Amino acid sequence: MDYIKNYSLEGKVAWITGASYGIGFAIAKAMAKAGATIVFNDIRQDLVDKGLAAYEEEGIKAHGYVCDVTDEDIVNATVEAIEKEVGVVDILVNNAGIIKRIPMIEMAAKDFRQVIDVDLNAPFIVSKAVIPSMIKKGAGKIINICSMMSEFGRETVSAYAAAKGGLKMLTRNIASEYGEYNIQCNGIGPGYIATPQTAPLREKQADGSRHPFDQFIVSKTPAGRWGEASDLGGPAVFLASAASDFVNGQILYVDGGIQAYIGKQPS
């Protein structure tokens, strides 16, 4: 058996939601290098255009669509367009997400619902839209971008933790319900990744010192650093490829070892 070929994504169509930049963009680049045809979406045309320009700079011919992943009718129409213009989606990465850092008792219910809608309801809607064609094809890969908050709680992220915990269980249920059709659904749980979303947590203080949360994360991570978006590329290609055909319903945490580590004893 040629194990290297098992990791090839040649001939596969990969749709990574919200992949104009950040983690989704890094995953898409890795999948493109493994041979996949890249499809991505964003909520506005200007963001799609920026994404297309970024892919072109990387030498990647990507297909961009304007799509609100929380709107079932728009998602269904987008899937129809992708299948007509590019091909059946072989690989879906539910990457689009938001976070609102607000103490729970100060958070309006509408803000809580918005996070749940984008981070949990949307993966349900998009997965539901692509699964029928995967069943007809007899194969499919769904990768949900979970989080450390799929396992842990932390102050100010009640909605995000609730959504990502739910996404973990949605991942396992899709695996349970559609595994018999040779569809594998797994999750990637990034640790603390240096992205625009986490930039406020890494800003230098007025005195030049590191942000307290930055110090906290580095001290709790055996790797001694924040992750880079590119650290997620290899795990994503593995879960999208034939190498993971008997891996289903799992969450692969890419966290530099933080979940395995209790932390240093105070001196």
Question: Which residues lie closer than 8 Å to 240 by C-beta, 6 or more apart?
Answer: 9, 12, 14, 31, 34, 36, 91, 93, 141, 143
- Interatomic CA distance for residues 111 and 108, integer angstroms: 5
Q: Are 95 and 24 in contact (CB under 8 A)?
A: yes
* DSSP output for 91-104: EEEE---------G
Catalytic residue among 160, 178, 192, 253: 160
CB-CB neighbours of 251 under 10 Å = 17
Is 160 catalytic? The answer is yes
Q: Are 66 and 41 in contact (CB under 8 A)?
A: yes
Which strand ranges, in their side-by-side order, compose the sheet holding 251-254?
62-66, 37-42, 13-17, 91-94, 140-145, 183-190, 251-254
**Burial tier of 142 (Cβ tally within 10 Å: 0-12, 13-18, 19+):** buried
Catalytic residues: 160
